[in-house]
Amino acid sequence: MARLALLSVSDKTGLVELAKTLVEEFGFDLISSGGTAKAIAAAGLPVTKVSDYTGSPEILGGRVKTLHPKIHGGILARQDLAEDQKDLADNGIRPLDLVVVNLYPFEQTIAKADVTMADAIENIDIGGPAMLRAAAKNHAHLTVLCSAEQYGPYLESLRASQGQVPLEFRQACARAAFWHTASYDQAIATYLTASTSEEDALPQQWAMTGRQQATLRYGENPHQTAAWYRTGSIPTGWAGAEQLQGKELSYNNLVDLEAARRIIAEFPSDRPAAAVLKHTNPCGVGMDDTLASAYRRAYDADDVSAFGGIVVLNRPIDADTATQLTGTFLECIVAPGCDRAAQDILAKKQNLRVLVLEDLLTGPTQVVNAIAGGFLLQAPDTYRDDPATWQIVTEAQPSEAELTEMLFAWRVVKHVKSNAIVVTHQQQTLGIGAGQMNRVGSVSIALAQAGAKAQGAVLASDGFFPFDDSVRTAAAAGIRAVVQPGGSRRDDDSIKAANELGLIMAMTGVRHFLH
């Protein structure tokens, strides 16, 4: 008797070619349902509808098609067990040799802006996961395929083994099927949790599955293995970015690129902005009337640290900006676009990685940090600061221009590792103190870097000042205004010092630590 294959797919990619080869080269009989059966029949290939094979019509508008003993008996039967073979014979069931199933496009459905809960629920596949799980469980006796990418290797395996697919291959396909259903269920559970949870509430249960996007040469250091995984079946974020040129991305590149995305998301595209990052910290951020000058201001803020850095831009790269970018060694550049002239200029730097990510604003909805025995989960720090909510706690009050500058500095310091201090003037960073074990050290580093340019500048601190010493140090360097979260028991000491020295001080009431 000919071998039997069940084909039931939502994604029809490669379907007809697979069916044709199964029938014409390997003599398979095919059973199929719904649109899959129509596509196979339209190609002139013999196929039996599931309803004709089972003797049961599709019911409930197609919700019940394959949930039938003749289907699942054929999938789950153990070919080396006499009792199972007798059950098949007694019930007129043929054993299946191949099950090809992929699922309703749930993630594509919920990605639509106008999706309703009813639409999402209707795109939850029931029969498909049941068949995949059953076939994966019984992989000792049949093969299960859940992706068009597996069709070619399966056919090659059939040819190489005279029709007997090796157990190792079947096991690999079974693993893929279980991961496929696990990812599918996780997407549904996540959607339903997000749709019914209170704002900012974290779920009682949380899971994440990913599909390997690339094997990386190594992790943070050469002795550490690493790989890049994307979540969901639809490539989004960095998995959906277009790399126009350059070497493959490394682990550290990707970590830095995500830090770059987070900081540029602070600056709307109504005014050009650029940031240069090194080891996830900004070493220069600038805004100006053109993208080229915004980048130049970011680069000039710390041209020593910029060497070998990551550049992120909030507007598409033009020729003038590209020319500026080729003036030094950079690891990566990312922008929401890159025009043809700019691409030609950047191409002269063959190893320079240039990426286009159209949506630089959308990031992960949860931040995960692995710890021994589990993980920590938190919402990302996407809080949008509004100076209208700040308290100006000093006698000196800021002008509109000074308040705008204070907001610029505050947006940058949010993305500097704690303890963080940022000095800015005219929407350009002048000095950045990052990752010090005490705030006094960060103040000293930032002011030393700013030097004489600190005259009339703004200083932002990601944490409060527990003593007035840093306020006095800032004033002595020429700082005009300070923005900090406040909240110390000794805030009055800092306010008193600011008033004594003629400083402006704003307390935001919001802290942005970045550990």
Q: Catalogue the active-site residues.
A: 137, 279
Nearest residue to 281 via CA among 156, 401, 376, 416: 416
- 229: Cα within 13 Å, side-chain hemisphere: 8
Residue 331 and residue 512: Cα distance in Å, rounded? Answer: 28
Residue 426 and residue 442: Cα distance in Å, rounded? Answer: 21
Burial degree of 467 (CB within 10 A; 0-12, 13-18, 19+): middle
Residue 266 and residue 196: Cα distance in Å, rounded? Answer: 29
- Label each residue of 156-168 as H, E or C: HHHHHCCCCCCHH
Locate tokens 């157990």: which residue? 167
Helix (H, G, I), strand (E, B) or coil at 33: coil
Contacts 24+ apart (CB under 8 A), 484-491: 484/460, 484/508, 485/461, 485/509, 485/510, 485/511, 485/512, 486/391, 486/393, 487/511, 488/464, 490/465, 490/466, 491/393, 491/464, 491/465
Residue 471's CB is within 10 A of a number of other CB atoms, namely 26
CA dihedral 491, 495, 498, 500 (to 10 degrees): -130
Residue 48 tokens, joined: 């039996």
> How many angstroms separate the first and last alpha carbons of the chain?
65
Contacts 24+ apart (CB under 8 A), 349-354: 349/246, 350/245, 350/246, 351/246, 351/247, 352/245, 352/246, 352/326, 353/243, 353/245, 353/246, 353/247, 353/249, 353/253, 354/243, 354/244, 354/245, 354/246, 354/317
Helix (H, G, I), strand (E, B) or coil at 182: helix
β-strands 4-8, 29-32 pairing: parallel
Convert 143-156 to b/e letters by CB count within 10 Å (16 or more is b).
Answer: bbbbbbebbeebbe
Helix (H, G, I), strand (E, B) or coil at 424: strand
